[in-house]
Amino acid sequence: MPIRALVFDAYGTLYDVLSVSGRANELCGDKGDLITQLWRLKQLEYTWLRSLMRSYQDFWSVTRAALEFTLTGVGIAPSPALCDRLMDSYLHLELYEETLQALSLLGDYQLAILSNGSPDMLDALIRSSGVADRFADVISVDRVRLFKPDPACYALVEPALGVAKQEVLFVSSNGFDVAGAKRYGFQVAWIERGGAHGPPEHSAVGPAEFYRMIRGRAEQLGYEPDYRVRRLTDLASLVGQ
């Protein structure tokens, strides 16, 4: 079926979650990069655990808990003042450099976001980055009180946009999200943010390389993306074929 709507993941796809490193380095010195990587990994882990335990808390609460875990783990006291300043970074994440151009190129399609983010987080984020008018809907999993890749999250798209799932191209850089969306029945494009990095030369890897090994590769879950592209701007020619 032809594509009628493109639905984007937000964190890691449109927005660079690792852009929190600037604030982390400013506030936490030489542990900033380690905090940046661990925080994101624990944040995702907590979404999956919360869904499995059927003990939902919104993404802001999950992100805060992951931050407190991370700071404690690296030997920094998670004071409210420090956590508040680091958490504020999630309301002002940087867009990937090609995001605005990509959205402009796709202007003939219905565009939306489907994100783990809470409504307040997403509202602040899209307004601070100036893209609020680009999307027909910004869909938070808070509507079903579960996190991706639970199928109930992807099922929010069809009634919100008035399209069949086969008419949706779901776009994500996150391997777990790619697998979940494909399992649900969307057409899926994986943005390969990890690039073409090979295996490490030895086991003494830094936090950035370790993160890339965990988060930058396709998951081995049996659900492959329909398309693999390096940049969001590659989508325009893909859907135009």
Burial zone of 219 (CB within 10 Å; 0-12 exposed, 13-18 middle, 19+ buried)? middle
Per-residue CA distances from 197 to 69, 209, 212, 216, 219 (Å): 29, 9, 9, 9, 16
* Cross-strand partners of 112: 7, 137
Catalytic residue among 9, 58, 142, 150: 9
Q: Which residues, 6 or more positions from 29, have their beta carbon under 8 angstroms from its beta carbon?
A: none
* Pair 229, 210: CB distance under 8 Å: no
In angstroms, rounded to a whole number, what is the distance separating the alpha carbons of residues 52 and 156?
Answer: 19
User: Do the Cβ atoms of 25 and 32 come closer than 8 Å?
Assistant: yes
137 is catalytic: no
Pair 33, 113: CB distance under 8 Å: no
Q: How far is CA 173 from CA 2, 70, 88, 167, in A?
A: 22, 23, 23, 20
**d(C-alpha 228, C-alpha 131), whole Å:** 25
Report the C-alpha gap between 202 and 110 in whole angstroms: 46
Catalytic residue numbers, as ranges: 9
